[in-house]
Amino acid sequence: MNSNRKVVLVGAGFVGTSFAYSLLNQGGVDELVLIDVNKDKIIGEEMDLSHGLPYAPHKMLIKAGDYDECKNANIVVITAGLAQKPGQSRLELAVANAKIMKDITQNVMKNGFKGVFIVASNPVDLMSYVVAEVSGLPKSRVIGSGTVLDTARLRYLIAEYIGVSSKNIHAYILGEHGDSSLVPWEHCYVGCKKITDIMKEKKHPMENLQRIHDYVWQAAYDIIEKKKATYYGIGMALNRLVRAVLDDENSILTVSTYQNNEYGQEGMYIGVPAIINKNGVKDIIELKLNEDDQKKFNHSCEIMKETIEKEITPILNEE
């Protein structure tokens, strides 16, 4: 890993700049390079971010650049792509953004990139698959933001409901970053206690947990309807992923990663708990799902496989 701790960001829209701003505030990166089709915008973003450096916790070089900067980067973060519109599902974005991902990945790899990709462009599971296929890198070195944000939303809502700190909620969302996601409640804990036991003891109906999950996947649509886009939460989530890689943390995060017969599935990217370190995905944490949860997970995977076959593969095969 490059000791300079260099991150290249491709895409300076709301998500990308929110991520960049969180890096500025939290530190941990020596060099941040911004790439976007709008050259004037990234020059403006470079200036605006750099003017905050006197009050930042650490020194950082921030600059507008191009794909040649990827050669010695530790991480390339991709947030570029068309935004999700009100009422539009993430899957409906697949075709247009797959073409964008293919072009970006080819440009990155032409310049000798050997680091870790982190993909946040939607639909993120499919876009991660595109980046992995086009780059030719080991699948472990292409990570999608997956359900990292969904999991954060889940933990926040459970914490509000139970009345404890969200940092003591250990719950995970699996599957698609979208409508077919699931929560394996049997593997969710408040501190060291199962949430299902807490619900029984307090005589709370289990349906309340399902309402919390329903609100998690609905949250993005609500935010988009009210303010046209969601970006602060995913900006923080991307920062968390970058730190896990740069600091070689071996942290467990629910990322979109390639399935190689884990959970009985293979051939697609999907959100699961995984151990993240300097090489990307070190290992996948395979939970023992009950029959109902396994069916939900299988359904989520089938959606990915069908979309890959019908929509993504033809784009990948184009010259």
Residues that are catalytic: 177
- In this structure, what DSSP letter does residue 216 have? H
- In this structure, what DSSP letter does residue 310 have? I
How many helices (H) and strands (E) are present in the chain, helices listed first? Answer: 10, 12
How many CB atoms are closer than 10 A to CB 23? 25
DSSP string, 252-309: EEEEEEEEESGGG-EEEEEEEEEEEETTEEEEE------HHHHHHHHHHHHHHHHHII
The rounded distance, in Å, linking the Cα atoms of 60 and 72 is 16
213-245 b/e with 16+ CB inside 10 Å = b? beebbebbbeebeeeebbbebbbbbbbbbbbbb
* Residue at 35: amino acid letter: I
Q: Is the dihedral of CA 217, 220, 222, 223 positive or negative?
A: positive
Cα Dmax for the chain = 60
How many CB atoms are closer than 10 A to CB 130? 26
Beta bridge partners of 143: 118
Phi, psi at 86, each rounded to 5°: -55, 130
* Residue at 53: amino acid letter: L
